[in-house]
Amino acid sequence: MNFKKEIEKRRTFGIISHPDAGKTTLTEKLLLFGGAIQEAGAVKNNKIKKSATSDFMEIERQRGISVATSVLAFLYKDKKINILDTPGHKDFAEDTFRTLTAVDSVIVVIDVAKGVEEQTEKLVEVCRMRNIPMIVFINKLDREGKDAFDLLDEVEQKLGLHVTPLSFPIGMGYDFKGIYNIYERNINLFSGDSKKNIEETIAFDNMENPELEEIIGSKAATDLRENLELIDGVYPKFEKQSYLDGTLQPVFFGSALNNFGVRELLDCFVEIAPPPRPKKAEERLVAAEEEEMTGFVFKIHANMDPKHRDRLAFVKIVSGTFERNKPYLHVRHNKKLKFSSPNAFFAEKKEIVDISYPGDIVGLHDTGNFKIGDTLTEGEILHYKGIPSFSPEHFRYVNNADPMKSKQLNKGLDQLMDEGVAQLFTLELNGRKVIGTVGALQYEVIQYRLEHEYGAKCTYENFPVYKACWVEADDKNNEEYKEFIRVKQKFLAKDKRGQLVFLADSSFSLQMTQQKYPSVKLHFTSEFE
């Protein structure tokens, strides 16, 4: 098959939600439709249990399983669908942000009773900033929940989206009768039978047809007619281009657990979701159809077996074809590398592949060459953008607890940071090291892994920081900048890439600093322009 056709077939996306909204359940149902798994429960193991906040051993166990579910691929209606796993646990939010750099679209899952929750807000904001096409799936319609119109309002207001429903519930919870599919113009009656894989729909184009009363009862028929009229008057008509531009988000309703409304979602998804989109590099915009291979590392899984330093770097192919045993340029190291056993992912399995196309993810065995954000090309000097670091929420000094093992500690810290577990800052004043994380849980994970994988021991000490801000100055010779560096020396550090960071100890001091040194720009992420 020709190269262009292969690209056109690919749909690489992520499902994002607040924990418990139903992401895992929906993923599983999508895989069932694709015939990639035979029974429910297969993906479930990957979930970090709620108890995990205090049980990081559980996370270690999950880390093993999650290699298998990092990319779940299946075929549906001749499309190759790659679902990239995004951890829901908020302590791993940064992993999710990074994975979002590798998706071409997303599905946002919202719990009908809880509405828009915190984690969804954060993740959608990232997608909105990058104009990633989004489809919203409102889940758990079999339960009592919020009024559908109120929810659509909430989605618009809290998530800053412009929505248009492509399906609409008929009743809800106890009275849930089914869904009217506005996109396909049919009615899907709810039976509550989750085993049912094929849903029977009743084509229904003319709402005035009195048969509607017979099918769903007179009260529901009146309500549905009114609701559809309202939708027609209030919401914009669905336009694929607006969805692709990230300016309009279609909404579906359903119940993942009952496998209800999922087929409608998937059918619409394969029809409208974009194939691999062009990606910005610092140097230029790269299109999927370009012949030369380019790709970037968005995730690293390391040391699954502590005895062997095996790491798997996940590379998203942006353009060209990735071929086994062909030399590629590792741009940061300016070194050519060959990969004799690149892995592709299919359902829950990974296998060695000879060729991969744009949109695909390949897993490369690595002995420490890669870090997140690295670019591979056929020779061109390119740096893919869009894998910024965000200000961590927690900061602690890290101390070496075993002076004989300082080499091991440094190596361990170095590799764990390459993997993106946390961020390391080195204070300008005294060279002390500070670890910044999104969640407190990571400190336990780091301590445990340093000990078990590198034989090093560390302790932590509190370091009260409100936010890390990356410093930008147009003119480093101007007096204001020099004064800033002198006065704030105690609060300045370098991140791993050597970028200067201001560690503000309170929101007040941040404000004051900004006022006092207006020419020094302080950014909450490491990528700015």
Query: Binding to ligand G4P by residue 139, rule CB under 6 A?
Result: yes
CA geometry: angle 388, 390, 392, nearest 5 deg = 145
Query: Binding to ligand G4P by residue 47, rule CB under 6 A?
Result: yes
Considering beta carbons, is residue 172 or 413 the nearer one to ligand G4P? 172
Shortest Å, Cβ 16 to ligand G4P: 9
For ligand G4P, the binding residues in 54-73 under the rule CB under 6 A are: none
Considering beta carbons, is residue 6 or 111 the nearer one to ligand G4P? 111
Residue with tokens 């039976």: 191
Q: Where in 56-166 does DSSP place strands (E)?
A: 71-76, 79-84, 105-111, 134-139, 163-165
Among 8, 11, 13, 24, binds ligand G4P (CB under 6 A): 24
Among 3, 9, 20, 499, binds ligand G4P (CB under 6 A): 20
Among 59, 161, 257, 522, binds ligand G4P (CB under 6 A): 257
Query: Binding to ligand G4P by residue 22, rule CB under 6 A?
Result: yes
b (16+ CB within 10 A) / e for 234-266 = ebeebeeebbbebebbbbbbbbbbbbbbbbbbb
Query: Binding to ligand G4P by residue 169, rule CB under 6 A?
Result: no
Among 104, 142, 366, 453, binds ligand G4P (CB under 6 A): 142
CA distance 265 to 470: 41
- Sequence-ordered list of residues with C-beta below 8 angstroms from that of 6, at least 6 positions apart, any chain: 357, 358
Considering beta carbons, is residue 173 or 278 the nearer one to ligand G4P? 173
Among 143, 383, 385, 496, binds ligand G4P (CB under 6 A): 143
Query: Binding to ligand G4P by residue 17, rule CB under 6 A?
Result: yes
Shortest Å, Cβ 254 to ligand G4P: 7
The answer to whether 341 touches 352, Cβ cutoff 8 Å, is yes
Minimal CA–CA distance to 491: which of 505, 508, 476? 505
CA distance 24 to 85: 9
Q: Helix or strand or coil: residue 96?
A: helix
What number of chain residues touch ligand G4P (CB under 6 A)? 18
Query: Binding to ligand G4P by residue 95, rule CB under 6 A?
Result: no
Among 256, 266, 272, 446, binds ligand G4P (CB under 6 A): 256
Give the binding range for ligand G4P (CB under 6 A) out of 93-101, 252-260, 274-282, 290-298. 252-260
Give the binding range for ligand G4P (CB under 6 A) out of 140-148, 150-158, 211-219, 271-279. 140-148
Which residues partner with 398 through β-bridges? 460
Query: Binding to ligand G4P by residue 173, rule CB under 6 A?
Result: no
Q: Where in 41-140 does DSSP place strands (E)?
A: 71-76, 79-84, 105-111, 134-139
CA distance 7 to 298: 20
Considering beta carbons, is residue 20 or 156 the nearer one to ligand G4P? 20
Considering beta carbons, is residue 97 or 463 the nearer one to ligand G4P? 97
Shortest Å, Cβ 265 to ligand G4P: 12
Among 8, 11, 13, 21, binds ligand G4P (CB under 6 A): 21
Burial of 156 (0-12, 13-18, 19+ CB in 10 A): middle
Among 11, 13, 16, 23, binds ligand G4P (CB under 6 A): 23
Q: Helices 56-69 and 441-449, interaxial angle, to 10°?
A: 80
Element (H, E) at 150: helix 148-159
Shortest Å, Cβ 50 to ligand G4P: 8
Q: Helix or strand or coil: residue 138?
A: strand
The answer to whether 125 touches 36, Cβ cutoff 8 Å, is no
Q: Helix or strand or coil: residue 31?
A: helix
Query: Binding to ligand G4P by residue 34, rule CB under 6 A?
Result: no
Give the binding range for ligand G4P (CB under 6 A) out of 17-25, 76-84, 362-370, 424-432. 17-25
Among 6, 11, 12, 25, binds ligand G4P (CB under 6 A): 25
Query: Binding to ligand G4P by residue 255, rule CB under 6 A?
Result: yes
CA distance 429 to 488: 10
Considering beta carbons, is residue 69 or 343 the nearer one to ligand G4P? 69
By CB under 6 A, name the binding residues for ligand G4P: 17, 19-25, 47, 88, 139-140, 142-143, 255-258
